[in-house]
Amino acid sequence: MPLPTHPSLLFRSLWVALAVIGLALSSQVTISMNPVPMTLQTLAVVLTGFLLGTRFGSLATFLWLGLGAAGAPVFAEGAGGLEHLTGPTAGYLWSFPFAAALAGIGANSGRKTVTWLFVFALAAHLIILAMGASWLAAKIGAQAALSKGVMPFLPGAALKSAVAAALFRLIRGLRRARDREAAPDQCRDGASSH
């Protein structure tokens, strides 16, 4: 089960806020390329979907987009402002809620093997690349969008997908171990209160 499992609105809001911070920080890890910079944003988007699920993962990415549109320096290389949601890289940015939702579907499915999660993470990355390149093609042409906005990012997409799947499995395993340790304490506490 993806995080958070606690029903409290406050607890879920905290996780969403942490995801927004993670997205903002990952945007600052950048390799400048023209016209699309290479960042860790997509890794953060996929992890956000894995950890928060479809609804809250998408919500976190929408909030991050809203902060960026309002001028907060949360986009790549410390950028912010509405013009980034209409500029050459806007398609990549607008794809993030959809990619997070797809990752959330993968995390919520019955199968949670690393391979299964990798497939969903890679599919999320491909959505980002497809939407980004489609928008970029309107600005610089289809051939240039493919050569500058997709091809250089495919190896990184595969690597980030593998990292996201492995990290999610690790976090999930640690959480399960913590829950198993807490279960005997809960039983003892419950037994002693009778």
In a domain, 188, yes or no: no
**Rounded Cα distance, 3 and 6, in Å:** 8
Which tens digit of pLDDT belongs to each residue from 46-72? Answer: 999 999 999 999 999 999 999 999 999
Q: Which domain holds residue 41?
A: 9-168
Q: Can you list the residues of the chain whose pLDDT is less than 50?
A: 1, 4, 191-194
By three-state DSSP, how is residue 28 classified? coil
Distance of CA 75 to the CA centre of its chain: 14
> Please, what sign has the CA dihedral across residues 170, 173, 174, 175?
positive
In a domain, 103, yes or no: yes
In a domain, 185, yes or no: no
In a domain, 4, yes or no: no
CA distances for 38 relative to 27, 90, 182, angstroms = 9, 14, 41
List the CATH number of the domain containing 41.
Answer: 1.10.1760.20
**Rounded Cα distance, 29 and 20, in Å:** 15
In a domain, 180, yes or no: no
Write phi, then psi, for 43 (nearest 5 degrees). Answer: -60, -45
Q: What is the pTM of this model?
A: 0.86
Write phi, then psi, for 7 (nearest 5 degrees). Answer: -75, -10
**Rounded Cα distance, 92 and 45, in Å:** 11
Q: Tally the domains of the chain.
A: 1
In a domain, 51, yes or no: yes
What's the pLDDT at 177? Answer: 79
In a domain, 138, yes or no: yes
What's the pLDDT at 15? Answer: 93
By three-state DSSP, how is residue 7 classified? coil
In a domain, 133, yes or no: yes
